[in-house]
Amino acid sequence: MKKIKETEKGFYGCFWPMEGSRNCMIAMLGDDCEDYMARSAVKWMQKKFQVNVLTLSPGHKDYSHHNLPIETVGAAIAYGREQGMERFAIVGASTTAMFALTAASYYSDITLTIALSPCDFIMEGFYRGKRDGMEEWPGEGESTLSWEGKPLPYLPFVYRHPEYGEKIKTQARLGKDMAASSWLFNDSEKAHPLKEEEMIKVERIRGRVLMIGASDDVLWETARYIRRMMKRLKKRDHTCRVKAVLYEHGTHFVFPEGMVKTMLPIGGELITRLFAAGRQYPKECRQTRIDIDRQISRAVRAWTR
């Protein structure tokens, strides 16, 4: 794979060209545009779909998400146009699934959006690192995303530092999960009922949309959020073709089996065994990943036709 890192084009990322293709997938997978997960995703996508891939991240090994400019996606699209790209897709997982859906609602150039374990609202910004024994803490007056220099309206976290991190640690310990934060989000939504301006405007997205989630996700209730987005679309005019795929088992890491096998050639189930549900239902989680592979393959092939 050949990579070209761009730091002065309005975004931080790497461009991975595929000779003969005019299709570009903007991928926000992993914590850095060239970390192991990002590289594995590129390898899997290019082998399977023969597409150009542009990996994005907030910055070099920057695991925080606060006031990230949506315009970085627009800048990435502009760069792709300069390289001769004609069609653009975007894929994100977890927090970046929220970013992918939001960006697609702003840029009509994106004609395929894949969101893995998304939420349906903009969440408050957060930082990651080390602070008072905590690895994550909320921003103060910061959204996860911004537009034209202003933070987007967001669901504020009901807990502040250090209680925020303590709640996450407690839930993970009690559930025997690597990470868990659904209490945080549910309690935040109870304390601050979501407002329309905080919701992702999925009805503005063009082209195809594929949303995937599992009911045993303990980071947040993505199945509920996906159902809420589908309900929203029924009430609003839209042109996008949306498919929501929900599984009983799969954990927060609803990745396609082929991509997981690329990352972990031996012991691919380790990615879901980080969660109690993954250890309890390994066969079911594997079947979920296999079906996700099929679902994503169908969506991408329909988009590239």
Does the residue 181 lie in any domain? no
Instruction: Give yes or no for residue 3 having a pLDDT over 80.
Output: no
Does the model's pTM come out above 0.75? Answer: yes
Find the range with the poorest average confidence among 37-51, 124-138, 219-233, 288-302: 124-138
Specify the DSSP element, H or E, that contains 68: strand 68-69
Q: Is 31 exposed, middle or buried (0-12, 13-18, 19+ CB in 10 A)?
A: middle
| pLDDT for 285 | 97
Q: For a pLDDT cut of 90, what percent of the chain falls above it?
A: 85
Report d(CA 167, CA 45) in Å as an integer.
37
Does the residue 170 lie in any domain? no
Does the residue 162 lie in any domain? no
Does the residue 182 lie in any domain? no
Backbone angles phi, psi at 204, to 5 degrees: -90, -10
pLDDT in tens, 146-201: 999 999 999 999 999 999 999 999 999 999 999 999 999 999 999 999 999 999 99
| pLDDT for 62 | 61
Does the residue 243 lie in any domain? yes
Does the residue 179 lie in any domain? no
Amino acid at 261: K
Q: Which stretches of the chain are DSSP H helices?
A: 36-49, 71-82, 95-106, 163-175, 182-191, 222-235, 257-263, 276-280, 282-304
Q: Which H, E and C letters describe 219-254, residue by residue?
A: CCCHHHHHHHHHHHHHHCCCCCEEEEEEECCCCCCC
Instruction: Give yes or no for residue 125 having a pLDDT over 60.
Output: yes
Does the residue 276 lie in any domain? yes
Instruction: Give yes or no for residue 228 having a pLDDT over 80.
Output: yes
| pLDDT for 60 | 60
| pLDDT for 141 | 85
Instruction: Give yes or no for residue 64 having a pLDDT over 80.
Output: no
Structure tokens, 304 = 């590239």
Q: Is 300 exposed, middle or buried (0-12, 13-18, 19+ CB in 10 A)?
A: buried
Does the residue 175 lie in any domain? no
Mean pLDDT of the residues in the chain? 94
Domain boundaries, position 39:
4-128+141-148+200-304
pLDDT in tens, 80-121: 999 999 999 999 999 999 999 999 999 999 999 999 999 999
pLDDT in tens, 14-48: 999 999 999 999 999 988 899 999 999 999 999 99
Domain tally for the chain? Answer: 1
Q: Which of 192, 190, 187 is nearest to 168 (CA)?
A: 187
Specify the DSSP element, H or E, that contains 204: none
| pLDDT for 266 | 76
| pLDDT for 8 | 82
Instruction: Give yes or no for residue 203 having a pLDDT over 90.
Output: yes
CATH number at 21 reads: 3.40.50.1820
